[in-house]
Amino acid sequence: MTERLRIAMAQLNQSVGDLAGNAEAMLAWRADAAAAGADLIVYPELQLVGYPPEDLVLKPALAARAEVELHRLAAATADGGPAMLVGTVIANGGLLFNCVALLDGGKIVAIRQKRELPNYGTFDEKRLFAPGPLPDPVEFRGVKIGLPICEDVWFPFVTSHLADRGAQLFINVNGSPYEVGKDDRRVKGVCAARVHETGLPILYLNRVGGQDELVFDGASFVLNADGSIAHMLPDWEEALVITDWVPDENGQWVCLPGTVHALDEHPADIYHAMLVGLRDYVNRNRFPGVVLGLSGGIDSALSAAVAVDALGADRVWCVMLPSRFTSQESLDDAEGCATMLGCRLDTISIVPGTEAFDAMLGEAFEGRKPDLTEENIQSRIRGVTLMALSNKFGHMLLTTGNKSEMSVGYATIYGDMAGGYSVLKDAYKTTVFDLSRWRNENHSSLMLGPNGPVMPERVITKPPTAELREGQKDSDSLPPYEVLDPILYGLVEQEKAVDQLVAMGFERETVARIERLLYIAEYKRRQSPPGVKLGGRNFGRDRRYPITNAFRTA
């Protein structure tokens, strides 16, 4: 019987579609694992092709290239170093499978296919892959290892089958996106249940990094059969951790205790999700930096802070775009934010543009009083100006709207909605306040920005306003955010009906109005830029509502 097994956990980032780059990274990490005396190095789900590959994986050329790279990786194991457990795509008989391949001794010695294919929320794997059969364990160095892939552990079927077939421990590779509160569900909910049912330990490995709207937090771990956590890897950062496994007096495999990292508390987890998502989106798409409108309000201040923390102050370009309604307070607060962050701030007045539009449309608008139209023109002039800077200099335009505004349409399409990415897209306004207070008092090793406050306190405490007309406040058009946000959470995340929210103590007229605004703003959201997913129902892949929709619950 094998006396000891040393398994390296490679918690890595990955680049969708960069098969050669991903393979090279795996070989580099394998060299480090070899130096540590590892028998096996394990990589996250679909590490070779990147997760989620979406419809890119349907291109036959991708599966063909994945096969070439997998054989190249297998050949590398002929050196007598660690075996490799690699997540990849394999085409077989006209079908595609999400697989893990065990590479050892210069060969592909075993392949196991994912059985349970998630098809909810952001996941649509049944569109892409065929389900594999219930898998048998693989034998490695005399140990029978069960290889459930990601969703395979969220239900008892695969792990119970593997246990019945003689598995002695589980290695579960994942591409599990971040959501608020998901750490506890993974450890104390899903994996603890599988360990309790089977009596077997589990090594849970997750990826890190951003991929479009999804961000992956890592937080990989090892859970022993007694429910104790032997290892907890850090969240958000790449890490190589060596785990040592030995049989106990009953022959049960046990992972020896290692480092248990503390994971982010709330709202640090949300802030870091935004930071990592923006960082990888901008860098992977090769933008030199970002440009954004800095209004002196809290949304743009927080967006600028996340951008500086993600990219560094020298890659963030803030632009103040005052109108005749912009207060001196807003000008001062924008300057204060830029100074605290250490980033560039330019001022470009939109007054000449609004005067030009007034003259251009004067005859057509004759006899009509100024209304929302003129407010939207101001917002669109700002959007055109920022896009012009983006086009001319190559910086991606960072959009600054939050989820509360996007929910009810309190945003101007082709105006403040213009841009390439939004870190606040899934953050309600009350969350924006919480994050701003937190960032002013905290700093972390992930941040490239200053260790200290990043915005004047007045930005957080003053009443929110779009400043598109004299004396305008958000509260003129919307309920207070401490009322609006719980209603929106009930309507969006929980799919509650108006009557249910009324029963919770909200006014019927207010809830019915918010439900109507939510539905009629669907066309705007369909045209909004991507942004970091934070909660259980982001606008986009999580929530796919018809634009034309006559249903109401009021």
pLDDT tens-digit readout, 98-133: 999 999 999 999 999 999 999 888 888 999 999 999
pLDDT of residue 470: 72
Beta strand 208-211 pairing with 143-146: unpaired
Work out the mean pLDDT of the chain and round it to a whole number.
Answer: 94
pLDDT of residue 464: 79
Residues with a catalytic annotation lie at 45, 114, 150
Q: What's CA 140's distance to the chain center, in Å?
A: 35
By CB neighbour count within 10 A (0-12 exposed, 13-18 middle, 19+ buried), where does 439 fall? Answer: buried
pLDDT of the residue at 121: 80
Q: What is the pTM of this model?
A: 0.94
What is the Cα–Cα distance from 497 to 474, expressed in whole angstroms? 25
Is 522 part of any domain?
no
Does residue 467 have a pLDDT over 70?
A: no
- Cα 178 to Cα 186, 214, 238, 469: the distances in Å are 11, 7, 15, 39
CATH code of the domain in which 166 resides: 3.60.110.10
Please name which of 186, 214, 184, 180 lies closest in space to residue 493, comparing C-alpha atoms.
180
Q: For the residues 266-272, what does the mean pLDDT come to? A: 96
Q: Are residues 358 and 422 in the same domain?
A: yes
251 and 277 part of one domain: no
Judged against a pLDDT cut of 90, whether residue 548 lies above it is answered with no
Distance CA 22, CA 209 (A): 13
Residue 328: CB atoms within 10 Å: 9
Q: Amino acid letter at 105?
A: G
Q: Which of 3-7, 131-135, 248-252, 393-397 has the lowest mean pLDDT?
A: 248-252
Which is more confidently placed, 470 or 1? 470
**Which helix (H) or strand (E) element contains residue 373?**
helix 372-393
Residue 358 confidence (pLDDT) above 80: yes
End position of a domain, from candidates 420, 442, 474:
474
* Exposure b/e, 260-293, CB count within 10 A at least 16 = b: ebebbeebbbbbbbbbbbbbbbbebeebebbbbb
Amino acid at 215: V
* 100 and 247 both lie in a single domain: yes
Residues 6+ apart with CB under 8 A from 241: 8, 9, 11, 220, 231, 233, 258, 259
Q: Is 545 helix (H, G, I), strand (E, B) or coil?
A: coil
Residues 245, 387 within the same domain: no
The phi, psi pair for 35, rounded to 5°, reads -65, -25
CA angle 513, 401, 291 (to 5 degrees): 165
pLDDT digits (tens, 9 = 90+) for 166-222: 999 999 999 999 999 898 999 999 999 999 999 999 999 999 999 999 999 999 999
Which domain CATH number covers 469? Answer: 3.40.50.620
Report yes or no on 492 lying in a domain: no
Do 376 and 437 share a domain, yes or no?
Answer: yes
**Number of neighbours of residue 2 by Cβ within 10 angstroms:** 14
In a domain, 125, yes or no: yes
In a domain, 513, yes or no: no
- Tell whether 229 and 328 lie within a shared domain: no
Asked if residue 327 and residue 250 are part of one domain, the reply reads no
193 with 283, same domain?
no
Question: Does 181 fall in a domain?
Answer: yes
| 160-180 pLDDT tens trace | 999 999 999 999 999 999 999
Confidence band, pLDDT 50/70/90 cuts, at residue 473:
confident
Helix (H) or strand (E) holding 397: strand 396-399
List, for residues 27-40, the tens digit of each pLDDT value. Answer: 999 999 999 999 99
- Does a structural domain hold residue 526? no
Residue 322 sits in the same domain as residue 461: yes
304 and 431 inside one domain: yes
Q: Is residue 485 part of a domain?
A: no
DSSP calls for 205-256: E--EEEETTEEEEB--EEE-TTS-EEEEPPBSS-EEEEEEEEE-TTS-EEEP
Helix (H, G, I), strand (E, B) or coil at 123: coil
Residue among 418, 438, 107 at smallest CA distance from 271 = 438
Measured CA to CA in angstroms, residue 129 lies from 55, 88, 157, 420 at distances of 10, 12, 19, 30
Cα 113 to Cα 123: distance, rounded to the nearest angstrom: 17
Residue 545, pLDDT score: 87
Nearest CA-CA partner of 458 in 302, 348, 296: 296
Tell me how many domains the chain contains.
2
In this prediction, residues 395-419 reach a mean pLDDT of 94
| Residue 96: inside a domain | yes
Same domain, 220 and 169: yes
Distance (Å, whole) CA 546 – CA 522: 8
Q: pLDDT digits over 321-345, tens only?
A: 999 988 999 999 999 999 999 999 9
Residue corresponding to tokens 């780059």 = 21
Domain of residue 435 covers: 268-474
- Residues 184 and 88 reside in one and the same domain: yes
The pair of structure tokens assigned to 522 is 């669907």
pLDDT at 553: 86
**What distances in angstroms separate CA 225 from CA 88, 191, 194, 198, one per listed residue?**
29, 11, 10, 9
Cα 156 from Cα 190, distance rounded (Å): 9
Q: Is the pLDDT of residue 476 over 80?
A: no
Cα distances (angstroms) measured from residue 201 to each of 192, 308, 334: 9, 41, 53
Size of the chain in residues:
554
Distance in angstroms (rounded) separating the CA atoms of residues 103 and 84: 5
Number of Cβ within a 10 Å radius of residue 100: 27
**9-18, 43-52, 276-285, 459-468: segment of lowest average pLDDT:** 459-468
DSSP assigned state of 319? E
Domain boundary among 225, 255, 285: 255
Band the pLDDT of 1: cuts 50, 70, 90: low
What distance in Å separates the CA atoms of residue 309 and residue 138, rounded to the nearest whole number?
44
Dist. CA 554–CA 551, nearest whole Å: 9
With 90 as the cut, is the pLDDT of residue 475 above it? no
- End-of-domain residue from the set 196, 228, 255: 255
Using only C-alpha atoms, the chain has a radius of gyration, in whole angstroms, of 26
Q: Percentage of the chain surpassing pLDDT 90?
A: 89
Average confidence (pLDDT) over 524-546 = 89
pLDDT score recorded for residue 196: 96
